[in-house]
Structure 1
Amino acid sequence: MAKTESLSEVHQSVNTDKRKGWRRILSFIGPAYLISVGYMDPGNWATDLAGGSKFGYQLIWVLLMSNLIALLLQSLSARLGIVRGLDLAQASKHAYPKWVNIPLFGLAQTAIVACDLAEIIGMAIGLQLLFGLPLIWGISITIFDTILLLFLLNRGMRAMEGFIVSMVFIVGISFLVEMFIVEPSLKEVVKGFEPSLLSGDALYIAIGIIGATVMPHNLYLHSSLVQTRKIERTNKGMKEAIKFNFIDTAVALNLAFFVNAAILILAAAAFFRNGLHEVAEIQDAHKLLSNIFGNVAPTLFAIALIAAGQSSTVTGTLAGQIIMEGHINLRIQPWLRRLITRLLAIIPAFFTILYYGDGALGSLLVLSQVVLSLQLGFAVIPLIHFTSDKKLMKDFAIKTWMKVWAWGSAFLIISLNVKLVIEEISGWAKDANTWWIYVFVFPAVVLVVLLLLYVFLHPLINKGNLQRQMVPHGNALDIGKIEKISYERIGIAVDFSTNDRNTIRHALIQGGKDAHYYLIHVVETAAARYHGDIVMDHETQSDANNLEKYKINLADLGYDATVFIGFGGTAKAIADISNKNKFELLVMGAHGHKGLKDLIFGTTVDSVRHKVNIPVLIIR
C-alpha cells in the first residue's frame, strides 16, 4: 500500500508518550533546529555582508523584523502539521484545484533551487578559502553530498537532527569568537534596531535579507517535521505539542537571529567602519578579515560557511521531497530527488563562473535570496488561510490578533516585493533595447499576480467545499458482492535461482489446472542487448534449455505452459511479452536487495509494474 504520510520514512518515529518532565520537553526539540539552518545558510551570509558593509548597523532592525515574522509563520506551520496531520503542500493540494497546484509546485521548486544554489556557492567558496580549491571544482564536489543524505535518512530522525544541531553549534561558536575579535560598538548596534525608510540598494538588500530569513520551503518543511513526533490525537495532546514546538521554534530561531546579526555586525565593524562599503563577496570578507585580524577569524569564517552550507543541503532535500509529494503526488527516491535539485542549481552556477567569472557569484547569491522572497506570498497566504479556518482547525484556529499579525506580515512582504519588481523593471526599461521586457517580463508578471490573487481569494469564495478539503483521498467505497476471479493467462518471470520454486507454486495456486502459464526469462548479456533475438550465445542456449525443463516438469504435473525468452533490459522485455500476449496476471519473484544494491542492480519489479496494466503478484 502506498504511504501517504508526509516524510513517511520518519513519520511518528520519535515517541514522546513514555517521557516525563524535562525529558518530555526534550523529545519535542529538534524539528526547529532543522528549520533554523535555513535561516543561517550561505545566502544569508551574502545579504548580511552586503547590508553590514554598505549600511553599517542600519539594517539590524530588518533582521529583527524578519525573525519575528519567521517565528510567527513557523509556529503557524507547526500548528498546521500537528492539528491536521498534513504538511503545507498536502493541505494546498486538497484546498486548491489541480491546475493551481502545478504552478505552486513549480514556484516552490524554483525557491528550493535558488536556496540550493546559495548552498552550492557557499560550500565551494568555503572549500576554496580553506584548501585553495578552484570554485569550479568545489561546485562539482557538491554533487556527492547525496551520499550524506542517504546515510542520515537510514540512521533515523534523531541522527539527522543530531548532525544538524552539531553544524549549527559550529556556526554559532565560530561567530561568537569572531564577535570578541572585531569588538563592535554596542551603542551603534542598539541604534541599528531603530526602523528607517528603505529605497534603492537598501530596499534590494532588505528584501534579500527577508527572503534569506523567512524562507518559503521552511514553511513546508516544518509542517512535516513536527509529524515525526508521536502524540495523543486529543485536544490536550495537540495543545501540549503546539506549546513545546513553539518553545523549540523560539529557541532555534533566536539562535539563527544571533548568527545573522553577528554576520551583519561583523561586516559593519570590520568593513563599514574602515570605509570598505562594497563588500558583498564572501571571498573579499575572508581576505579583509585576514588583513585586519590575522588568521583565526577568517579560518573560523570558512569552517562556519562549510558547516552552514552542508546542513542546509540536507533540509533543502527534505523540503523538495515534501513539495513534490504534496502538490503533485509524485514520490521518487530521495537520492534522485537530491540529484535533480542539485543539478538544476549547479547549471546556473557553472554558467555564471564560465561566462562572468568567479567574481559574479556574490551577486548571484544575493539574487537567489531575492527570488526566495518573491515566492514567499505563495506559501504564506495559503498557510494563513488554513490555520484560520475554524471548521478545519476547530479549537486550534488562530486568534484574531494573530490573524492581524500574520496578514500584516504577508502584506508587508508582498508590498516590498511589488516595490522591488517595479523598481527593477523600471531600471531595465531605461535601456535602449527593451523589446524582451514587453514580450517576456510583463506577461510573466501579470500571470504571477493573477495566480497570487487566485490563491488569496479561492479559500474565501470556496468555503462551502469543506468535504473535499477534509478528505485527503476521497471516501471509502462500498466493496459490494465479491466474485471469484479466474485467471486464464498467467505470466511467470523466472531467473533460475532458488526463488523460482516458490514463484511458480504461487502462480499455480492462482490459476489451477484450468489456466495456461507463460514462463518468461530475460537474457541480459552484452550480445543479447545489442543483437536481440538473433543471438545464440552459450547463456541464451542454456537458459532456453532450462525453460524447457520447467515446461516439461509442469506438463508432468498436469499444467499447460509456454516459454518465452526476452533479450536486453529485464523490465522492458518482461513488460513487452506481458502486453503482447495479453496476460491477465504476472507473477514475479523479488530479489530482496535494497539501498545501494538497488542503485547498482536496479529495481525490476518497480519498473515492470509501471509498464503493465495487469495485476502483479510479487513473491519474496
Structure 2
Amino acid sequence: MLTIVWYGERATGNLLVLSQVVLSLQLSFAVIPLIHLVSDQRWMGQYAIKPVLQGLAWLTAGTIAVLNLKLSYDAIAAWMAGAGGHAWLLWLTVVPGAAVLVALLGYVTVVPWLERRRGAPTPAIASVHGPTAMPAVTPGPAARRIAAAVDFSNADTAVLSHAVTLARSAGRGASVLLLHVVESGGARIMGDEMHDSEARGDQQRLDLYRNELAELGVEATYDLGFGNPADQLIALIQTHKPDLVVLGSHGHRAVADFVHGTTVERLRHRVRVPVLVVPGAA
C-alpha cells in the first residue's frame, strides 16, 4: 500500500520482482544446511541419504548459489553505475552487507562438512522437560489433621470415605475436621451473625456427621463459614491449618464452570495446603 501511494501503481511490479529476488537469495541458506543434515549419519543414522543423492543435491544447491551470486553481482554493479556521485553510499552499506552474506554462506557450507569429516560429536538434544533426572524425593509425615469440605450433597459420600481412610491410615491421634459454608442470602449479607433455619439445620447435620464418624472410630470436629463458599472455605483452612483438604467435585459441566467458576480452582491457587479432589457418586 505504501509503495502504491508513494511511487504509483507501476512500482508494484518492481516490488514483486524484488520480493522474488530476496526469496531466491535466501534459498541457499535453507537448502545447504538441510543437505548437511540429511547427509550426516551422526544425526540421521540409517536414514542418511546415499552418496548419489548427495551429489545431485549439492549440484542443485551449487547451481542455485552461483546463479544467485551472479544476480547479486549484476544488481550491485547496476546500482553502482546509476548512483553516480552517491556510489560511496553503496560502498558503505550494500557492499559490506553482501560480503557478510557471502561469508555466512561460505560458513554454513564449509564448517558442517569439516565437523563431519573430523567426526565431531553432535550436541545433546535436551528434552522439552529438561534433563532426565530423578527429583529428590523426601517422604513427609502422614496427614493427621484432615479437613473434609462437605455440602450435604451426594459428593459427601466420597469426601467422607476418603477422609476416614486417610485418618485411619495415619494412626492414633489423627482427626477429621468437617468444614461447611452456609451460603443463604442472609448468610452472605450478615455473615456469622446469621442464625436462621438453614444455619441451624446445617449445624445439626454436622453434629450427625461427627457422631457417625465417631462410631467409625474417627475423632471429628466441625466449623461453619457464612457467605461465599470458596472465600469462606479458604478462610477456614487458613484458620485451622489442616495437613490436607479433601474436596468433592461438584459435577458441573463446562458451561456451568465457565459461568460460575469452581471452588476447586479458587482453592488450589490461594491455599498452601495439599488439596485432594475426589469425584462424587455417578
TM-score range, shorter chain: 0.5 to 0.7
Which residue in 1 is equivalent to 2:4? 52
Which residue in 1 is equivalent to 2:61? none
Which residue in 2 is equivalent to 1:593? 252
Does 2:241 match 1:582? yes
C-alpha deviation, 1:70, in angstroms: 8.6
- Which is richer in strand? 2
C-alpha deviation, 1:611, in angstroms: 0.9
Does 2:188 match 1:529? yes
Deviations 1:130-172 (A, max 9, x none): xxxxxxxxxxxxxxxxxxxxxxxxxxxxxxxxxxxxxxxxxxx
Taking a change above 3 Å as real, the CA distance of residues 530 and 69 of structure 1, as seen in their structure-2 partners, is farther
Tell me the amino acid that sits aligned with residue 201 of structure 2: S
Which residue in 1 is equivalent to 2:161? 505
SS of residue paired to 1:610: helix
Is 1:529–1:569's contact at 8 Å kept on the other side of the alignment? yes
Deviations 1:13-49 (A, max 9, x none): xxxxxxxxxxxxxxxxxxxxxxxxxxxxxxxxxxx3x
Q: d(CA) in 2 for partners of 1:507 and 1:586?
A: 9
Is 2:144–2:167's contact at 8 Å kept on the other side of the alignment? yes
Q: Give the superposed CA RMSD.
A: 4.0
Which residue in 1 is equivalent to 2:150? 494
SS of residue paired to 1:522: strand
Give 5+ residue unaligned stretches, structure 2.
31-36, 38-43, 50-103, 110-122
Taking a change above 3 Å as real, the CA distance of residues 480 and 402 of structure 1, as seen in their structure-2 partners, is closer
Which residue in 2 is equivalent to 1:542? 201
Q: d(CA) in 2 for partners of 1:600 and 1:517?
A: 32
C-alpha deviation, 1:592, in angstroms: 3.2
C-alpha deviation, 1:519, in angstroms: 0.7
Q: d(CA) in 2 for partners of 1:615 and 1:582?
A: 11
Which residue in 2 is equivalent to 1:342? none
Taking a change above 3 Å as real, the CA distance of residues 52 and 589 of structure 1, as seen in their structure-2 partners, is same
SS of residue paired to 2:195: coil
Is 1:586–1:614's contact at 8 Å kept on the other side of the alignment? yes
Is 2:146–2:177's contact at 8 Å kept on the other side of the alignment? yes
Q: d(CA) in 1 for partners of 2:238 and 2:153?
A: 25
C-alpha deviation, 1:63, in angstroms: 5.6
Taking a change above 3 Å as real, the CA distance of residues 68 and 538 of structure 1, as seen in their structure-2 partners, is farther
Tell me the amino acid that sits aligned with residue 509 of structure 1: T
Tell me the amino acid that sits aligned with residue 599 of structure 1: F
Identity of aligned residues (%): 30
C-alpha deviation, 1:400, in angstroms: 4.3
C-alpha deviation, 1:616, in angstroms: 1.0
- Which residues in structure 2 correspond to 1:213-252 (within 5 Å)? none
C-alpha deviation, 1:65, in angstroms: 5.3
- Which is richer in helix? 1
- Which residues in structure 2 correspond to 1:178-197 (within 5 Å)? none
Taking a change above 3 Å as real, the CA distance of residues 236 and 523 of structure 1, as seen in their structure-2 partners, is farther
Q: d(CA) in 2 for partners of 1:566 and 1:591?
A: 19
Q: d(CA) in 1 for partners of 2:236 and 2:228?
A: 12
Taking a change above 3 Å as real, the CA distance of residues 615 and 481 of structure 1, as seen in their structure-2 partners, is closer
C-alpha deviation, 1:572, in angstroms: 2.1
Does 2:273 match 1:614? yes
Taking a change above 3 Å as real, the CA distance of residues 58 and 589 of structure 1, as seen in their structure-2 partners, is same
Is 1:518–1:562's contact at 8 Å kept on the other side of the alignment? yes
TM-score, length of structure 1 as denominator length: 0.28
Which residue in 2 is equivalent to 1:255? none
Taking a change above 3 Å as real, the CA distance of residues 480 and 522 of structure 1, as seen in their structure-2 partners, is same
Which residue in 1 is equivalent to 2:141? 485
Deviations 1:352-398 (A, max 9, x none): xxxxxxxxxxxxxxxxxxxxxxxxxxxxxxxxxxxxxxxxxxxxxxx
C-alpha deviation, 1:569, in angstroms: 2.4
Does 2:211 match 1:555? no
